[in-house]
Amino acid sequence: MSTISTMNIALPEPLRAYVVARVDAGRYTDASEYVRDLIHKDQREQQIQRLRALVEEGLGSGPATPYAEADRDELRSIALDGTR
């Protein structure tokens, strides 16, 4: 499990009140849990955007070619050591 450290943030009163209202609504136990949830959602969104960009890149790369043994070897190399 990762180490938890503290980070202080400054919010204008309307945003602070919003966070308090979200916690008071019962879904979150405290402001930290709410902020962690927002960060996790942002991370997922970034992953989705990256995947969409990769799909667009693939679609724009031209017609598909038949899968070959060399393709399998290249993919295995990338998966094992991250080189391309």
> How does pLDDT run across 15-25, given as a tens digit for each residue?
999 999 999 99
Confidence of residue 2 (pLDDT cuts 50, 70, 90): confident
Q: Does 54 score more than 80 pLDDT?
A: yes
Q: Does 84 score more than 60 pLDDT?
A: no
How many of the other CB atoms lie within 10 Å of CB of 33?
13
Q: Which tokens go with 82?
A: 């991250």
The answer to whether 34 and 42 have CB atoms below 8 angstroms apart is no
User: What is the pTM for the complete model shown?
Assistant: 0.70
